[in-house]
Structure 1
Amino acid sequence: MTAAAEAAGYSVSAISQQIRKLELEAGVPLLHRHSRGIFLTDAGRATVEHAERMRGQITSLQHSLDDIIGLRAGALRMGTFPTAGSSLLPAAINRFRKEHPFVELTVRSFRKAPLLAMLSRREISMSLLWEYPWSRIDHPNLDLIHLMDDPTDLVVSHTHPMADRDSVSVSELVNEMWVVRAERHPVMEAIIRASNKVGFEPKVAYEANDYQEAQAMVAVGLGVALVPRLALSVQRSDVKVIRLKGIVPRRRIMLARLADGVSNPADLAMVKMLIEAAQGFGAGGQPTS
């Protein structure tokens, strides 16, 4: 008892009181007090064995927490949409895996609606999203960070009469046939809004399921296309990208997180890296040197 008091920094009487309180809670004597000294009862030995195991588990827990805090363990689950996954996101992932190789990173790529649903179900802790001026992300349970603006460019065949131009105005595209994204993709809305400002209805020649397919159809002269600049990170050699003059819709690239979510170190590290990766792309949606 004296040794225990010295180790814990208490008086002998205080230790004795704590032992008696523990015995009352256990409902059985833990110590056998004898003229020759104090000995553990069977219940006392069982209590000590469990206490030693608990102390080891608490120590192990502290080591695990230290690893998570120090980004030597843990997990990060996030989402993205395809064009960000092929352009902006890889730079952040590459850096994250180099600096935090022991954090388990998983990424799921979908369109906007499934990503918002996964955020709501807490299947992911953050996601890259996009919005246009007429289609804002309006979810009160999300915190949004505006990472960058993604301009819209014109893509034409390398044999197109405008292929040698550096820029084109939308009003010059009145008679063009268009390659658009299928299923009323938002880029079609961007084309309609841009064309309506100068008074024409776009004539659709082909509905593509992705931007690579759209580029292929443009390359063979089926039509021209409006494409967000991030979607042109992989550009075919037989198409030409031309800047659009005037007021052209551009989408905003956003990072969404749950407003009531708990920020862990892995989340905060990825947020910082995504912000810096977006800055590296510059305002025009292209990587800067």
Structure 2
Amino acid sequence: MLDVRRILLFTEVAHRGSVTATARALNYTPSAVSQQISRLEIEAGQPLLERHARGVTLTDAGRALAERGGRIERELKAAGNELADFAGLRTGTLRVGTFPTVSASLLPAAVMGFREAHPDIRLTVRSARLAGLWPLLENREIELSLMWDYDWSRIDREDAVVTPLLDDPPTLLVSDRHPLVGRRSVTLSDVANDPWITRADNHPVADALNRSCRAAGYEPQIAYEAHDYQEAQAMVAAGIGVALAPTLALDGIRPGVSVLPLQPPAPVRRILLVRMAGHSLTPAARVFTGFLRDSAATRTH
């Protein structure tokens, strides 16, 4: 097998016309260059140079190999420039995963900041429930993903790197006509007798509601199962019941709904940035992580 480094050295000799000139240009000794050319000729199984007092002359095989060497050199330079473009965020694609609540709150500021700073990077976002995000990460269809967990369901996978971004405490949504309106904060015990609007389809917030109410000493009376927070807000405004909602879901509160902070104990979820441990982040993903941290920081002040 031919050694690529020797081919490139041979190509330089062919270009400069002598071993001595090549050695001087590359800061080698003429003897070292000659030794490498001799080894290349052994690998090639035939002479590549004819040496004489004024320099060297290429054999037919040497001219063919030097032409190939020139192509290899150009391809390596192109590869280096292409990698530099990726490292310098002048090209490439960044694929990110998310879930609906942060898509409508935390993520937009990070996306806008990243696109303004690096307009040549193509950014794609995939939104899914937690169970749907894991296969995308494992298959590297996305590089990193926003996720969440609670105390009782921590993400603790050895093959994942988990970076907490912020805590997302819950709030109580009540109708503007509710007797608790005007209170600075409430407890779950204050609404023990109220009907509840929860999330449908075994949503994690429904589990959080059940656990929290049981910890407060009662089973929640479910009056309505909503498929998103806007639907839940509409039912709250109509007076059907009260609802539990994470703080990040409060962007765009509809008329007729009041938001009351909940006193502990209440189920605080963590907003996380997750990647697979065996998948190294691209430069674009590392930079985007910084924008997510900045966006999260604005939510905690």
TM value normalised by structure 1: 0.90
Which residue, 236, 239, 243 being the options, matches 2:254? 236
1:55-88 superposed Cα distances (whole Å, 9 cap, x missing partner) = 1111111112222222222332221111011111
Shift in Å at residue 121 of structure 1?
Answer: 2.3
For residue 108 of structure 1, what is the aligned residue in structure 2? Answer: 126
Shift in Å at residue 32 of structure 1?
Answer: 4.2
Shift in Å at residue 95 of structure 1?
Answer: 1.2
Which residue, 257, 266, 277 being the options, matches 1:259? 277
Mark the CA change 1:22 to 1:246 in structure 2 (over 3 Å): closer, same or farther. Answer: closer
Residue segments in structure 2 that go unaligned for 5+ positions in a row: 1-17
1:7-57 superposed Cα distances (whole Å, 9 cap, x missing partner) = 333344443333222222112332345799743222212111111111111
Q: Distance in 2 between matches of 1:246 and 1:21?
A: 76
Q: Secondary structure at the match of 1:241?
A: strand
Which residue, 175, 190, 195 being the options, matches 1:172? 190
For residue 10 of structure 2, what is the aligned residue in structure 1? Answer: none
Runs of 4+ displaced beyond 6 Å: 34-37
Range with bigger deviation, 17-26 or 104-113: 17-26
What amino acid is aligned across from residue 102 of structure 2 in structure 1? A
Q: Secondary structure at the match of 1:49?
A: helix
For residue 96 of structure 1, what is the aligned residue in structure 2? Answer: 114
Q: Distance in 2 between matches of 1:259 and 1:11?
A: 46
What amino acid is aligned across from residue 139 of structure 1 in structure 2? R
Q: Secondary structure at the match of 2:164?
A: strand
Q: Secondary structure at the match of 1:168?
A: coil
2:64 paired with 1:46:
yes
Q: Secondary structure at the match of 2:89?
A: coil
1:219-269 superposed Cα distances (whole Å, 9 cap, x missing partner) = 222221101110111211221111123411111111112223323322221
2:176 paired with 1:158:
yes
What amino acid is aligned across from residue 122 of structure 1 in structure 2? R
Aligned-pair identity (%): 49
2:286 paired with 1:268:
yes
Aligned length: 283
Q: Distance in 2 between matches of 1:196 and 1:157?
A: 23
Mark the CA change 1:198 to 1:18 in structure 2 (over 3 Å): closer, same or farther. Answer: closer
Higher helix share: 2
Q: Distance in 2 between matches of 1:175 and 1:202?
A: 8
Residue segments in structure 1 that go unaligned for 5+ positions in a row: 283-287
Shift in Å at residue 162 of structure 1?
Answer: 2.9
Shift in Å at residue 131 of structure 1?
Answer: 0.7
For residue 213 of structure 1, what is the aligned residue in structure 2? Answer: 231
Q: Secondary structure at the match of 1:276?
A: helix
Q: Secondary structure at the match of 2:151?
A: coil
Which residue, 80, 104, 119 being the options, matches 1:86? 104
Shift in Å at residue 109 of structure 1?
Answer: 0.8
Query: How much is the aligned-residue C-alpha RMSD, in angstroms?
Result: 2.0
1:199-219 superposed Cα distances (whole Å, 9 cap, x missing partner) = 222111111111111112222
